């Protein structure tokens, strides 16, 4: 194809992520159906929407009526605003006082991460919207649920507009008796704190406690918002959980690349860095235009991982490079340069999920997805 001068680089020319719009919509519906009436979605679009592309995903969700989001940090909130995302944007993590001005300018809602931090926010001097974080057992962020006086003092700070109060469950993916007991204690501590606030004549702020696993295992604690991340993207952290999931989730993301070159190597020849692969017989190999700088874990090197080409599995050979990956395509005679290879997603009857890759790397799907690189274009289909 002839390219015009100054034409933009094609979106699917090298390595890219495809997002299935319909999958996102279906998952949003499925998760909301689990929750009590009145509960709305506040999707977690932090870490570039778990690699899916934050602005693109939030825009899609805006279009189906989602008007609250949560992000990890102020820069992510600013990016959404610059992408003209509407609604409330809650920052779940720490914002340095030097950046409080951005909270104000971009109408971002900041989490009160403890009582001392509330004082810092209040001292900024201009009105700031906040949700109060409550620590009910995770011991990460939030004012301790028992410290009722400290929590009540936040409501009296003249520059803070308290729009919500929330906590985070830290063991909601496990359903052992012990885990259940811990989670129920967290939920009870949170409700107790909210009740104390109301006892003081303060109107009940918006409440939220659940993320993805919470929605599936403890939907009764729904409150006003569901902070869904991983499940909204159509998977769960671990393969076994995804297999046993009581509701149908549809993976929204595919990771694809192009076959750059196909070549024969002879028995005894090696390929790639450190000659980590040596062919026992004559083989056909292909170089793919994607590497670990794009977020393909280097731990998939040397046959641990595979890709799909024309519906067939091609094992990764040798060490994954920063920008390229070599695969064995001896069993795929119909392969040509320019063909598509799929690292996450479906090809014919075959499928590789982020959970499969996570298992091969000893981690969870969340890490695999959130590390997908900036160099990948995001295409919504």
Ligand X SMILES: *Cc1c(COP(=O)(O)O)cnc(C)c1O
Nearer to ligand X, 28 or 44 (CB): 44
CB of 324 to ligand X, least distance (A): 31
Nearer to ligand X, 42 or 326 (CB): 42
> What are the distances in angstroms from CA 379 to CA 15, 20, 52, 123, 285?
11, 9, 9, 43, 28
57 binds ligand X (CB under 6 A): no
CB of 212 to ligand X, least distance (A): 3
- The position carrying tokens 């495809």 is 18
How many helices and strands in the chain, by DSSP H and E? 12, 20
User: Which strand (E) or helix (H) includes residue 32?
Assistant: helix 21-34
Q: Which contacts (CB < 8 Å, 24+ apart) does range 68-75 have?
A: 68/40, 68/41, 68/42, 68/225, 69/42, 69/43, 69/44, 69/45, 70/42, 70/43, 70/44, 70/45, 70/46, 70/227, 71/44, 71/45, 71/46, 72/46, 72/47, 73/46, 74/99, 74/102, 74/103, 74/108
Task: Give the list of residues 6+ apart from residue 13 with CB closer than 8 angstroms, or none.
Answer: 258
> Are 17 and 52 a contacting pair, CB within 8 Å?
yes
Q: What is the DSSP letter of 277?
A: E
Applying CB under 6 A, among 92, 286, 341, 342 the residue interacting with ligand X is 92
Residues belonging to the active site: 46, 273
Nearer to ligand X, 78 or 228 (CB): 228
- The position carrying tokens 């899609």 is 60
Give the contact letters, 269-308, x = binds to ligand X (CB under 6 A), - = no. Answer: ----------------------------------------
Cα 269 to Cα 280: distance, rounded to the nearest angstrom: 8
Nearer to ligand X, 137 or 318 (CB): 137
CB of 228 to ligand X, least distance (A): 5
Restricting to residues 157-176, name those near ligand X by CB under 6 A: 168
CB of 365 to ligand X, least distance (A): 10
Nearer to ligand X, 168 or 378 (CB): 168
Cα 60 to Cα 62: distance, rounded to the nearest angstrom: 5
Nearer to ligand X, 227 or 256 (CB): 227
CB of 19 to ligand X, least distance (A): 16
Size of the site for ligand X (CB under 6 A): 11
Helix (H, G, I), strand (E, B) or coil at 108: coil
Applying CB under 6 A, among 95, 109, 211, 257 the residue interacting with ligand X is 211
Task: Name the closest residue to ligand X (Cβ).
Answer: 229
Give the contact letters, 221-260, x = binds to ligand X (CB under 6 A), - = no. Answer: ------xxxxx-----------------------------
Applying CB under 6 A, among 17, 39, 41, 44 the residue interacting with ligand X is 44
Nearer to ligand X, 230 or 320 (CB): 230
> Are 125 and 100 a contacting pair, CB within 8 Å?
no
CB of 227 to ligand X, least distance (A): 4
Q: Strand 253-265 and strand 283-288: pairing?
A: antiparallel
> 82, 41, 47, 96: which is closest to 64 by C-alpha?
41
Backbone angles phi, psi at 140, to 5 degrees: -120, -70
CB of 213 to ligand X, least distance (A): 6
Task: Provide the binding-site residues for ligand X, judged by CB under 6 A.
Answer: 44, 46, 92, 168, 211-212, 227-231
């Amino acid at each position: 194809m002839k390219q015009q001068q100054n034409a933009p680089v094609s979106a699917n020319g090298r390595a890219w992520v495809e997002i299935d719009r319909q999958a996102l919509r279906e998952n949003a519906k499925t998760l909301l159906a689990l929750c009590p009436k009145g509960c709305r979605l506040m999707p977690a679009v932090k870490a570039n929407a778990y690699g899916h592309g934050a602005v693109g995903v939030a825009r899609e969700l805006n279009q189906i009526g989602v008007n609250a989001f949560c992000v990890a940090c102020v820069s992510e909130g600013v990016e959404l605003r610059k992408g003209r995302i509407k609604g409330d944007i809650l920052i779940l993590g720490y914002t340095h006082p030097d950046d409080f001005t951005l909270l104000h300018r971009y109408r971002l809602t900041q989490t009160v991460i403890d009582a001392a931090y509330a004082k810092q926010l209040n001292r900024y001097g201009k009105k700031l919207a906040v949700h109060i974080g409550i620590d009910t057992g995770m011991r990460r962020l939030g004012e301790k649920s028992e410290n009722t006086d400290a929590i009540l003092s936040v409501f009296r700070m003249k520059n803070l507009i308290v729009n919500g109060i929330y906590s985070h469950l830290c063991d909601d993916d496990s359903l052992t008796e012990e885990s259940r007991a811990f989670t129920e204690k967290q939920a009870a501590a949170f409700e107790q704190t909210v009740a104390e606030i109301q006892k003081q004549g303060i109107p009940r702020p918006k409440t939220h406690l659940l993320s993805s696993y919470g929605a599936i295992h403890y939907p009764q604690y729904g409150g006003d918002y569901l902070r869904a991340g991983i499940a909204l993207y159509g998977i769960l952290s671990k393969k076994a959980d995804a297999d046993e999931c009581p509701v149908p989730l549809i993976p929204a993301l595919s990771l694809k690349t192009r076959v750059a070159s196909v070549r024969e190597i002879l028995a005894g020849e090696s390929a790639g860095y450190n000659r980590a692969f040596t062919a026992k017989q004559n083989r056909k190999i292909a170089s793919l235009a994607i590497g670990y700088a794009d977020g393909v874990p280097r731990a998939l090197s040397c046959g641990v991982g595979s890709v799909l080409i024309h519906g067939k599995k091609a094992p990764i050979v040798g060490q994954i490079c920063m920008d390229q990956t070599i695969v064995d395509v001896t069993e795929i005679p119909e392969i040509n340069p320019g063909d598509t290879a799929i690292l996450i997603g479906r090809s014919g009857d075959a499928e590789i999920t982020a959970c499969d890759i996570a298992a091969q790397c000893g981690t969870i799907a969340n890490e695999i997805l959130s590390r997908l690189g900036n160099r990948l274009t995001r295409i919504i289909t």
